[in-house]
Amino acid sequence: MMDCEKIKKELLDDIRIFSEKLRGQKEVLVVSHHDADGITAAAILIDLFRFLDIDVESMISKQLDSKVVREIKNQGKTVVFSDMGSGQLMIIRENKLDYYIIDHHQPLKKDDRQVNPHFYGYDGGSDVSGAGMAYLVAKSLGRTDMAHLALVGAVGDMQDSQGKLESINRVILSDAVKQGSVKVKNDLRLFGRQSRPLHLMLAYASDPIIPGLTGNQQGCMQFIESLDINPRRDDNNFKSYVDLDINERKKLISALYMRLLDFNVPEYLIQGMVGEVYTLLAEEKRSELRDTKEYATLMNACGRQEKPEIGLRVCLGDRGLGWQQARELLQSHREMLRKGIEYLSNRGVEERKNLYYFKAGGDINERIIGVVAGMAYGARIIPPDKPILAFAEDREDPELMKVSARANWRLINKGIHLGNAMREVSKSLGGEGGGHDIAAGATIPKTEVDSFIELVDELLDKQLAGI
């Protein structure tokens, strides 16, 4: 199954030179981003430094601004930034830190204390994640046992969104497969294939939305029974997707295909439903940790519940207390999301020509409002025909407003790029923003919210017209 992807020699050579400098350190502070990619990247580096007998501490941060950089500076240590830093190179330099940067975000400029795939013609959005870059550094120093975490990071950054991991990610995948830690399969890619009861996996499906099933638990149960699939295991607990045998899986997938075709869902959306899934073989069946996508969600939950260090412990092998705490965080995260969705479906959204939006004020926490906005499609609060913007108070600065924007694949195919829209419009109003085509964010002055909506609406017109 594995093809012979190769990583460009120039990148590997530079990583080797960079890594050798790390080998000589006595103690380091790893500073990483608070999402799944950042947490797994930090775990890969912590594991590496322990292997090299270098004293290591870590700090997981939501953002890297001058305030955070000054705090880091005060610790007086050699700092290894991962999954962040390339965009903050100037602040880091200004503060005269002893730094190393391992990142995959758009870099400002070249620096011999930084490795970043963009300088070698790679796209950090799809070819390799922050965790993947950390893995390449570890590999060049002889440590390869965390390849599976690099895949969790890549999936967490949605780098498999075209159906499979490619490019540098594929090389890492091939390492993991050779090590026997990961199995690759073409299968149904709906979220929750390991840990969720089958009918709930279908009811929560949002990518694609399945007409008549998404948001309809009872309908899902009837659908499963209509296929002659027993929804319960012998111990009477509900089956997960992974409990189905091959024939049941085939039956279910073709029935889903038929249903989507019947409802005129575009072909490319239907095809996205099946693709590569990555199973972590060392983890128990039906555990969130067994599937890369669910593993990433668990890490994101830890980050968003402001306990990234718990996620880190799980990545580093804790299957006792840390693992239990991580699952509790996932529960409370889901509870927060459920309340957010309930709030949104009660109050509804406003509509403009090219977008939906809602102002949550302080009613939905800014940490999860983007996720809630994205779930609005799956929960059928809005149809998938326009992007959605969500506004929440900045908890640290009452003068500022946080904006989260979400779209879906159908809209991306039409030319929507929310990252560009957030960056351009926020900049013109004295704020800052950016992100991916499908998920992006901005911070703007509170007084500019209405102009912001206006300008984004106009800009989306241009994106849709291909200007």
Q: In whole angstroms, how close is the CB of 310 to Mn ion at the nearest point?
A: 19
Measured from the CB of residue 278, what is the shortest distance to Mn ion in angstroms? 17
Dihedral, 89, 91, 96, 100 alpha carbons, nearest 10: -30
Decide whether 199 or 304 has the Cβ nearer to Mn ion.
Answer: 304
Kindly tell me which residue out of 37, 166, 294, 448 binds Mn ion, with binding defined by CB under 5 A. Answer: 37
**Spacing of C-alpha 84 from chain mean position:** 14
Q: Indicate the SS3 state at residue 339.
A: helix
Does residue 157 touch Mn ion according to CB under 5 A? Answer: yes
**CA dihedral for 257, 259, 261, 263, sign (positive or negative):** negative
Minimum CB–partner distance for residue 157 and Mn ion (Å): 5
- Identify the residue among 14, 47, 83, 207 touching Mn ion (CB under 5 A): 83
Smaller CB distance to Mn ion: residue 83 or 283?
83
Please measure the distance between the N-terminal and C-terminal CA atoms of the chain and give it in whole angstroms. 40
Judged by CB, which is closer to Mn ion: 130, or 419?
A: 130
Name the 3-class secondary structure at 362.
Answer: coil
Smallest distance, Mn ion to C-beta of residue 268, A = 25
Distances (CA, A) of 319 to 201, 284, 299, 325: 25, 11, 14, 10
Within 10 angstroms of residue 295's Cβ, the number of other Cβ atoms is 29
Contacts to Mn ion from residues 367-426, by CB under 5 A: none
Closer residue to Mn ion in complex, CB, 81/409: 81
**Comparison of 64 and 379: residue with beta carbon closer to Mn ion:** 64
**Whether the Cβ atoms of residue 298 and residue 288 lie closer than 8 Å to each other:** yes
Q: Are 244 and 230 in contact (CB under 8 A)?
A: no
**Which residue's CB is nearer to Mn ion, number 33 or number 196?**
33
Find the shortest distance in angstroms from Cβ 119 to Mn ion. Answer: 17
CA–CA separation, 163 vs 176, rounded Å? 18
CB of 455 to Mn ion, least distance (A): 28
Of 2-10, 80-88, 114-122, 441-449, the window that binds Mn ion (rule: CB under 5 A) is: 80-88
Q: How far is the CB of 37 from Mn ion (least distance, A)?
A: 3
Question: Please, what is the minimum distance in Å from the beta carbon of residue 167 to Mn ion?
Answer: 15
Q: Are 421 and 463 in contact (CB under 8 A)?
A: yes
Place of tokens 């799956």: 378
Phi, then psi, of 348 in degrees rounded to 5: 75, 180
Site string for Mn ion, 90-129 (x = CB under 5 A): ----------------------------------------
For Mn ion, the closer CB: 14 or 157: 157
Distance CA 89, CA 101 (A): 9
Chain positions 291 to 330 lying near Mn ion, rule: CB under 5 A, are none
Phi, psi of 146 (to 5 degrees): -105, 20
Name which of 107 and 130 has its Cβ closer to Mn ion.
130
Size of the residue set binding Mn ion (CB under 5 A): 4
Q: Which residue among 85, 117, 125, 130 contacts Mn ion (CB under 5 A)?
A: 130
Q: Work out how close the CB of 136 gets to Mn ion at its nearest, in angstroms, rounded to a whole number.
A: 14
Cα–Cα distance measured from residue 107 to residue 281, given in angstroms and rounded to the nearest whole number: 35
Q: Using CA atoms, how far apart are residues 248 and 167, in angstroms rounded to an integer? A: 33
d(CA 252, CA 260): 12
Give the residue at shortest CB distance from Mn ion: 37
As a whole number of angstroms, the distance between CA 407 and CA 409 comes to 7
Which C-beta is closer to Mn ion: that of 84 or that of 337? 84
Binding of Mn ion by 160 (CB under 5 A) = no
Task: Give me Rg for the CA atoms of the chain.
Answer: 22
Interface ranges with Mn ion (CB under 5 A): 37, 83, 130, 157
